[in-house]
């Protein structure tokens, strides 16, 4: 059975891009007689605003969607810690005390997700007094898993390649997991068979595929959909309140009608769908 999910982070209001993502996941599940899950990704304690989870539920209801909600990430911290211990024992993680500013000062290469960590702390003794993140030793990990493939419904079969993104953070300084670890474990625990999300997360999927292999997790299929861009050519972001679904809902707009328009790829006021 097809199981899809929408997994928003409660750090800002949802916008049309999220509506498009949620509708995509919802409609695929409905069409295939499957299940559509909602998971609140509140691993980021400092930036998460609990009241937004309720706003998200009201937004989805307003769009006319039905879902099953699975436990939020903040209730699953033990499973993240356990997996991180496993990777640590397998000598695939190393502590990194670098701050963002320190990494910036080294003028690192830029990758699809921003700065690529230049590996400063790899193989080093770090100061135990400093707080440390745990990073994946990508070369080790790739050697361990060998050649891996993953399947995207739109892009086809891809070879997992971590080298472009560098040694990604697996355990954050301020949380027991990064997005990569948490989302990968949760998708497995929730029985997600088709991970739908925007094409901006293509690079993350390479990481997730390797984590699945290292942790012996089931491998879903992916469906990376196009992204919505505003009239200035920027990807829609959570910053502008006036563009939020909550704002539209509170202004009395018909959400079910909006959802229908989005399904037909009829986007409001200069917004366009861009496929990679």
Interacting residues toward Zn ion by CB under 5 A: 96, 98, 120-121
Alpha-carbon torsion, ordered 52, 58, 59, 62, to 10 deg: -170
Residue 98 CB, nearest approach to Zn ion (Å)? 3
Residue 96: name its binding partner from ligand GLU, Zn ion, none (Cβ under 5 to 8 Å by kind). Zn ion
Q: What are the DSSP calls for 147-213, one per residue?
A: S-EEEETTTEEEE---GGG-S-EEEBTTBSS-HHHHHHHHHHHTT-SEEEEEGGGHHHHHHHHHHHH
Cα(165)–Cα(168) distance, rounded to whole angstroms?
7
Residue 121: name its binding partner from ligand GLU, Zn ion, none (Cβ under 5 to 8 Å by kind). Zn ion
Q: Is 9 in the site for ligand GLU (CB under 6 A)?
A: yes
| 231 class by beta-carbon count within 10 Å (0-12 exposed, 13-18 middle, 19+ buried) | exposed
Q: Is-contact 54 21, C-beta < 8 A?
A: no
Q: Mask: binding to ligand GLU, 210-229, rule CB under 6 A, as x and -?
A: --------------------
Q: Which of 7/16 has CB closer to ligand GLU?
A: 7
Residue 41: name its binding partner from ligand GLU, Zn ion, none (Cβ under 5 to 8 Å by kind). ligand GLU
Q: Is-contact 235 18, C-beta < 8 A?
A: no
Residue 9: name its binding partner from Zn ion, ligand GLU, none (Cβ under 5 to 8 Å by kind). ligand GLU
Cα(198)–Cα(227) distance, rounded to whole angstroms?
6
Q: Which of 58/122 has CB closer to Zn ion?
A: 122
Entry field: residues in the chain = 276
What residues between 159 and 188 interact with ligand GLU by CB under 6 A? 183
- Cα 63 → chain centroid: 22
Cα(72)–Cα(33) distance, rounded to whole angstroms?
24
Q: Is-contact 94 132, C-beta < 8 A?
A: no
Show the CA angle centred on residue 276, arms to residues 12 and 39, nearest 5°: 35
Q: Is 7 in the site for ligand GLU (CB under 6 A)?
A: yes
Q: Which of 201/227 has CB closer to ligand GLU?
A: 201
Kindly state the tokens that stand for 202. 């293509």
Q: Mask: binding to ligand GLU, 25-64, rule CB under 6 A, as x and -?
A: ----------------x-----------------------
Residue 195 CB, nearest approach to ligand GLU (Å)? 7
Q: What is residue 132's three-state secondary structure?
A: coil
Residue 85 CB, nearest approach to ligand GLU (Å)? 23
Q: Mask: binding to ligand GLU, 82-121, rule CB under 6 A, as x and -?
A: ----------------------------------------
Only segment of 2-10, 169-177, 222-230, 267-275 that touches ligand GLU (CB under 6 A): 2-10
Only segment of 5-13, 133-141, 219-227, 250-258 that touches ligand GLU (CB under 6 A): 5-13
Place of tokens 């679904």: 245
Q: Which residues bind ligand GLU (CB under 6 A)?
A: 7-9, 41, 183, 197, 201
């Amino acid at each position: 059975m097809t199981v899809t999910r929408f997994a928003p982070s409660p750090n800002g209001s949802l916008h049309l891009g999220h509506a498009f993502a949620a509708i995509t996941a919802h409609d695929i599940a409905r069409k295939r007689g499957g299940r559509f899950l909602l998971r609140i990704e509140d691993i980021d304690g400092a930036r998460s605003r609990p009241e937004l989870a309720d706003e998200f539920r009201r937004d989805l209801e307003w769009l006319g969607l039905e879902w099953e909600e699975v436990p939020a990430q903040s209730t699953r911290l033990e499973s993240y810690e356990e997996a991180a211990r496993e990777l640590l024992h397998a000598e695939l993680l190393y502590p990194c005390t670098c701050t963002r500013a320190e990494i910036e000062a080294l003028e690192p290469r830029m990758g699809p997700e921003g700065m690529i960590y230049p590996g400063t702390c790899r193989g080093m003794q770090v100061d135990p007094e400093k707080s440390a993140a745990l990073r994946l030793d990508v070369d080790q990990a790739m050697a361990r898993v060998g050649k891996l493939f993953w399947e995207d419904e739109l892009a086809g079969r891809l070879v997992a390649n971590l080298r472009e993104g560098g040694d990604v953070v697996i355990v954050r300084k301020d949380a027991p997991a990064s997005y990569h670890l948490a989302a990968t474990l949760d998708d497995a625990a929730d029985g997600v068979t088709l991970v739908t999300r925007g094409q901006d997360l293509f690079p993350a999927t390479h990481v997730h595929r390797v984590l699945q292999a290292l942790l012996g997790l089931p491998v879903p299929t992916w469906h990376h959909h196009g992204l919505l861009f505003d009239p200035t050519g920027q990807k829609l972001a959570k910053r502008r309140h006036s563009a939020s679904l909550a704002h539209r809902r509170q202004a009395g707009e018909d959400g079910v009608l909006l959802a229908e328009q989005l399904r037909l790829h009829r986007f409001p006021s200069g917004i366009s769908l861009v496929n990679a």
